[in-house]
Amino acid sequence: MLKKLILAAPLAAMLAVPSVEAAEKIKVGIVLTLTTPASIMGKQMKAAYEVAYDHLGGKMGGKELELIFEDDGLKPNIGKQKTEKLVKKDKVDFLTGYIWSHVLGASAPVALKAGKIFVSANAGHSLYAGKKCHKNFFNAAWENSQNSMAMGTMLNQRGVKNLYILSLNYAAGKQMVAGVERTFKGNVVGKDLVPTSHKDWSAEIAKVKAAKPDGVFVFYPGSWGLAFFTQYKQAGLDKTTPLYSVFSVDGANLPVYQKRKMKHMIGTFNTMFWAPDLDNAVNKRFVADFAKKYKGQIPSHYAAQAYDSLMLIAAGVKAAGGDAKNTDAVRKGMEEADFGSVRGKIKFGKNHFPIQNFYARQVINKNGQWQLSVRQTVVEDHAPVMSNECKL
């Protein structure tokens, strides 16, 4: 009797989810990390999708739009499982979200094999910008090394001669390092990649001090940034050596930095394709509506990407006259990308990655709220370096 219960309960619980399909709805499956400490980004992105949904009036190409969110738990196999569920059970027309390259690497093939259009809203898996590019694969964010390449250029512009590089010892961390080394023209006086289990940089910081660089490049996203920047100040380096970061200071964690009173972050530079004060009408509306939706926060670039991802899909559906099943027409519409992007105008390369500007951004304290502000354009119309490896 028990065994029946044991087996029947999960089956019943799963079957309880209605699978009857409402006619002619356009369904978008969104896989994000909504648990674990990494959910700090995922939750912002979810809110941004909802803002985009509101801006679209809950419709795409005249048809009702449904967003289905799933949590990948920061695990590739879970991400893949959720993607399968979205494809096979919920029968979504599009898949988007995907913060992490490993989750994307496991999940994207499922969607692409099923003939779905897949839009990465964050993970900048470099293989998909080059060798593995696919006609149905779009990226509404960036390729991993683009941003750090822009940083290298910015360091040249700012006259940094001796640079110390600090990153994490995993794929994205190495791609960031490769990016900055590709464009930075001065000397790299030291380089350390620490394992992701480390939260204490005592050894590395001592090496930085000994090397006496005139700039430190860091890639320490999320909680690593919190810990690293704290220790940077404790070692007194904030007074001597300016910090240049990529993906380590953003709208998602600035409120946390502010809460922890990490004042030395103010004035530091980073690079990004977007900033909340980028001057265009779409962006202004997005930033304002996002704040209303999400704790009064200023959106991060994650949120901006999520917003653009859904708008990109909407542009495709619109071009196909509301027929989401007509993948060719949808794709063509998406390639043209005729929609109001938070970046101003957006355009895609043949590998379906954005060709876009990168800006130098600085942390400022405006009206008591820490935020990122555009300083200057560092590079214009930048495309991933591996674009020509794409045979589309």
Partner 1 sequence: MNYTLLAEQFFNGFQLGIILFLVAAGLTLIFGIMDLVNLAHGTLYMFGAFFASTLVAVTDSLVLGMILALPVMLAAGLLLEFSILRTLYERNHLDQVLATFGLILFFNELFLIVWGPEGTGINLPPYLTGTITLPGGITVPEYRMVIIASGLLVALLLYVLVSKTRVGMLIRAGASNREMVGALGINIKLLFTLVFGLGAVLAGFAGMIITPITQADSGMGESILILAFVVIVIGGIGSIKGAFIAAILTGLIDTMGRSFIDVALLQIMDTVAAETAGPAISSMMIYILMAIILAIKPSGLFPPKGA
Partner 2 sequence: MNLEILKTPRGIYNSLLILLCIFMPWIAPAIGQDFFTDVFGRIMIVAIAAISLNLIMGFGGMISFGHAVFVGIGGYAVGIFASHGIESAYIQWPVGLLMSGLFALIIGAISLRTRGVYFIMITLAFAQMIYFLSVSIEKYGSDDGLTIDARSDFGIPFYDLNDALTMYFTVFVLMVACLLITRKMVNSRFGRVIRAAKSNDERMHTIGYPTYGYKLTAFVIAGMMCGLSGLLSANFEDFVSPDMMFWTFSGELIFIVVLGGMGTIMGPLGGAIIFLLLSEVLSNITNSWHLIFGPFLILVVLFARGGVEGFLAKFEKSPEAKS
List interacting residues with partner 1 (CB under 8 A): 35-40, 43, 169, 191-195, 197-200, 202-204, 206-207, 209-210, 223, 226-227, 230-231, 233-236, 253, 256, 260-261
Which residues, in sequence order, are CB contacts of 234 under 8 Å at separation 6+? Answer: none
CA separation for the pair 358, 379 (Å, rounded) = 5
Amino acid occupying residue 383? A
Q: Is 367 in the site for partner 2 (CB under 8 A)?
A: no
Nearest approach in angstroms of CB 210 to partner 2 is: 24
Q: Which part of the chain contacts partner 2 (CB under 8 A), choosing from 12-20, 151-159, 210-218, 364-372?
A: 12-20
Q: Where are the beta strands (DSSP E) in the chain?
A: 26-32, 59-60, 63-71, 94-97, 117-120, 137-139, 162-168, 187-194, 215-218, 243-245, 269-272, 347-348, 354-366, 369-382
227 binds, among partner 1, partner 2, none (CB under 5 to 8 A by kind): partner 1
Nearer to partner 2, 6 or 22 (CB): 6
Q: Is 125 in the site for partner 2 (CB under 8 A)?
A: yes
Task: Please report, in angstroms and rounded to a whole number, the separation of the first and last CA atoms in the chain.
Answer: 58
Q: In the numeric block, which tokens belong to residue 163?
A: 């640079």
Nearest approach in angstroms of CB 317 to partner 2 is: 25
Q: In the numeric block, which tokens belong to residue 3?
A: 């065994």
Nearer to partner 1, 43 or 382 (CB): 43
84 binds, among partner 1, partner 2, none (CB under 5 to 8 A by kind): partner 2
Which residue in 83, 59, 64 sits closest to 24, CA to CA? 64
203 binds, among partner 1, partner 2, none (CB under 5 to 8 A by kind): partner 1
Which residue in 151, 118, 125, 69 sits closest to 309, CA to CA? 118
Instruction: Tell me the number of residues near partner 2 by CB under 8 A.
Output: 44
Nearer to partner 2, 16 or 281 (CB): 16
Window 171 to 190, contacts with partner 2 (CB under 8 A): 171-172, 174
- φ, ψ dihedrals at 325, nearest 5°: -75, -20
Q: In the numeric block, which tokens belong to residue 260?
A: 């922890």
Nearer to partner 2, 80 or 331 (CB): 80
273 and 144 Cβ atoms separated by less than 8 Å:
no
Binding site for partner 2 (CB under 8 A): 2-3, 6-7, 9-11, 13-15, 17, 19, 34-35, 71, 73, 75-78, 80-81, 84-85, 87-89, 101-102, 105-106, 108-109, 125, 127, 132, 169-172, 174, 195-197
